[in-house]
Structure 1
Amino acid sequence: MVRAWFMDSSDEDQRLEHHRDPPQLVSLDQLFKLSGVEYFKLDPENYQKDLENLKKKRGYTYEDNITCSKECLENYEQKLKSFFTEHLHTEEEIRFVLRGSGYFDVRDINDEWIRIAVSPGDLIIIPAGIYHRFTLDSEDFIEAKRFFIGQPVWTPHNRPADDMECRKHYLQRVSRGFEE
């Protein structure tokens, strides 16, 4: 099961957990209410049927795999730095972890960071327009499936991007508690 918590403000190694003292855990219900992030747990060994159902239900038509490690990712240090730069996307960001682990950090409605630790079987959907970032944990390895509706949109829009339509729409949704 995924774990989430409010982050401390330390600028130590981004791959550490960064719990507040004392730790402030975030439940899945809180995670959705505070950020709109959705979570699904799939069997990491037998996920195909559940994944196909989710893809059909949400209209995902494109998928690929990404592996992040020193051995597999060209320009590793530069890529990790760009993944960890606070940004948003105009489309949902969907990741299903096959192997390894890492952290997705998202800004909540109060502009505080929530860290989400993901491992095999975790599928998260980060809404369009939310400020977020990604980093590996101390294991330095993750393999995940990525999904899109239509053609993939890879463009990150670094903060500030508050004038973008997707950001305005996200802020409207968060103010209504994601009721739609």
Structure 2
Amino acid sequence: MADKTSECTKKQCDDKCNHFGKPNPKNGWYLRDTIVNRYEENKTEPPEYLTDEQIYLETEAIISWVDLGNSDDKTEIEKRIRAVRNMPVSVEVECDIDKEKDEKALDEKADKFFAHHFHPGEVMRVVTEGSGYFDVKDLNNRWIRRPLSKGDIYIISSGCYHRVCLDTKKKMKAVMLHYDKKGLEQKFWPESETDPMHVQYIERMKCLRRSLNFQYKSRPGSVDCDKTLNRP
């Protein structure tokens, strides 16, 4: 990947640029190995930030944004979403502390979204209200966290492990879209590790790494694209 530091100087650098270690709030980061409170940022120490381009290279996840305007009209919101990618099957999902009877009820509902899984087809999720996090697993078996707010989009390939988490505000509503109803199915880890769709995803990503001559980070359990992938 090209070094973009030559395109600007520290004086010119603004909040949209992280060339000099100044994180854009929209960038992602690697999660620490041990999470005490999942609703917090849980960055590594020191933080390891990733741009959306880097997240794509690590996971094939596409991050984007759509202007949903200020309207509460669901028809208008869906029209704007389908202009991005016209996927016929849509489901609205919501987690909101103010709409649950207590904190325990919210945690139980949030557990379902936090269990990491993949879908048998491509999925697109668009945040329509509130904020939260999108977590996606890379080939080194590490989690990448990307903050989300209204209008943010992520598109996940079949076979890619991911999960969704609330932030400390504990309010998020989103629309999840699929090409067919089969895509609604969730395949959970660890039972799905040997599923052909996940194996194909891993092999496709390894081929991408070879084509880019992209080296993996040296760490325990890291993956060499020329060796068999083994996970705990």
Residue of structure 2 equivalent to 1:166: 197
Deviates more, 1:87-96 or 1:139-148: 87-96
Query: 1:101 is paired with a residue of what secondary structure?
Result: strand
CA contact (8 A) 1:67 1:73 kept: no
Residue deviations 1:68-116 (CA, integer Å, cap 9, x gap): 1134469532221122122222122311111111111111121111001
Query: 1:45 is paired with a residue of what secondary structure?
Result: coil
Query: 1:116 is paired with a residue of what secondary structure?
Result: strand
Go from structure 1 to structure 2 and tell me whether the alpha carbon gap of 1:65 and 1:73 turns closer, same or farther (over 3 Å shift): farther
Structure 1 spans left out of the alignment, 5+ residues: none
CA contact (8 A) 2:130 2:149 kept: yes
Say which structure, 1 or 2, has more relative contact order (CA 8 Å, 6+ apart). 1
- Provide the rounded CA distance (Å) in 2 between the counterparts of 1:89 and 1:64: 14
1:33 aligns with 2:57: yes
- Which amino acid counterpart does residue 64 of structure 1 have in structure 2? V
1:88-127 correspondence runs (5 A):
88-127=118-157
1:19 aligns with 2:43: yes
- Provide the rounded CA distance (Å) in 1 between the counterparts of 2:118 and 2:157: 9
Choose from 92, 116, 124 the match for 1:65.
92
- Which structure shows the bigger proportion of residues in helix conformation? 2
| Structure exhibiting the larger radius of gyration computed from Cα positions | 2
What's the Cα RMSD here?
2.3
4+ residue segments displaced more than 4 Å:
46-50
Query: Identity rate of aligned residues, in percent?
Result: 25
**Pairwise CA distance, 1:45:** 0.8
**Pairwise CA distance, 1:174:** 0.8
CA contact (8 A) 1:94 1:147 kept: yes
Query: 1:162 is paired with a residue of what secondary structure?
Result: helix
- Provide the rounded CA distance (Å) in 2 between the counterparts of 1:155 and 1:144: 17
Query: 2:109 is paired with a residue of what secondary structure?
Result: helix
Go from structure 1 to structure 2 and tell me whether the alpha carbon gap of 1:176 and 1:50 turns closer, same or farther (over 3 Å shift): farther
Residue of structure 2 equivalent to 1:176: 207
- Provide the rounded CA distance (Å) in 2 between the counterparts of 1:158 and 1:49: 31
Number of paired residues?
A: 176
**Pairwise CA distance, 1:152:** 5.5
1:142 aligns with 2:169: no
Length-normalised TM-score, structure 1: 0.86
- Which structure shows the bigger proportion of residues in strand conformation? 1
Structure 2 spans left out of the alignment, 5+ residues: 1-24, 71-76, 212-232
Residue deviations 1:116-147 (CA, integer Å, cap 9, x gap): 11111101012221122211000000011111
**Pairwise CA distance, 1:35:** 0.3
Go from structure 1 to structure 2 and tell me whether the alpha carbon gap of 1:48 and 1:65 turns closer, same or farther (over 3 Å shift): closer
CA contact (8 A) 2:66 2:84 kept: no
- Which amino acid counterpart does residue 66 of structure 1 have in structure 2? V
Query: 1:10 is paired with a residue of what secondary structure?
Result: coil
- Provide the rounded CA distance (Å) in 1 between the counterparts of 2:122 and 2:44: 28
